[in-house]
Structure 1
């Protein structure tokens, strides 16, 4: 699925319980000109998602209270956000994790720690910006 960005700035939500990962994503994406919404866990994300209307969501898998699979499933069950791409973030790169992510509706899987290039490439895969450059 592709997001048409037009003249609007793409808004990206990053859900991760690690402040280091949130900060890295915020720096990398901010430098690329994206608007960033940060959430510490699934509950925090669900509280912020309606107000922020992100165009793309990065979601950690292993989080306290509400894990990434549960968070992704709840986002995808919402009529308002079911078409919003959700990219799972995990330090594990196993087939089981990828399959389970796909089962709850995630659109892609990115292994942590990610690089600036891999993060931005993933964002570009879901935007039409690369076609306008």
Structure 2
């Protein structure tokens, strides 16, 4: 299977400008259309307009954390099928379990590598 990431809309939700910029740069290089959000509220405002294929969400964010954001996305009938991949600097079993409970599809530990990011997209991208 060739790596064709073109026309793939990816949302990256993280309160860290560095993480957003890093992920955005990586993903744009492989052809993805990238939408970024600074927190859960920002993301929820953008999801309906942008309809991302895959969403990466940081867990530790102000106002609305990654768990709450994921739960809100998964509880929405339009977006419940959208893969949500949690990003966290914590690699604890509890955090991963909590992520599963709110409906996340995968869990990546920060700092993530380019390969981890792309592998997660390969795993969850919609069939062409």
1:3 aligned residue: none
Q: Is 1:76 the equivalent of 2:79?
A: no
Q: Secondary structure at the match of 1:101?
A: helix
TM-score, length-scaled by structure 1: 0.90
Q: CA deviation at 1:117?
A: 1.1
2:116 aligned residue: 118
CA distance in 2, matches of 1:71, 1:41: 8
TM-score, length-scaled by structure 2: 0.93
- After TM superposition, the structure 1 = structure 2 runs for residues 23-34 of structure 1, keeping only pairs within 5 Å, are 23-34=21-32
- Out of 52, 56, 59, the position equivalent to 1:61 is 59
Query: 1:3-52 deviations in whole A, cap 9, x for unaligned?
Result: xxx99611000000000000000011000100000000000000000000
Q: CA deviation at 1:128?
A: 5.7
Instruction: Identify which range, 99-108 or 7-16, moves more after superposition.
Output: 7-16
CA distance in 2, matches of 1:28, 1:35: 11
Summarize the Cα distance change of 1:50–1:128 in structure 2 as closer, same or farther, 3 Å threshold: closer
More contact order relative to length (CA 8 Å, sep ≥ 6): 1
- After TM superposition, the structure 1 = structure 2 runs for residues 1-133 of structure 1, keeping only pairs within 5 Å, are 9-127=7-125
The Cα RMSD (Å) is 1.8
> Where do 5+ consecutive residues of structure 2 fail to align?
none
Report the number of matched residues: 125
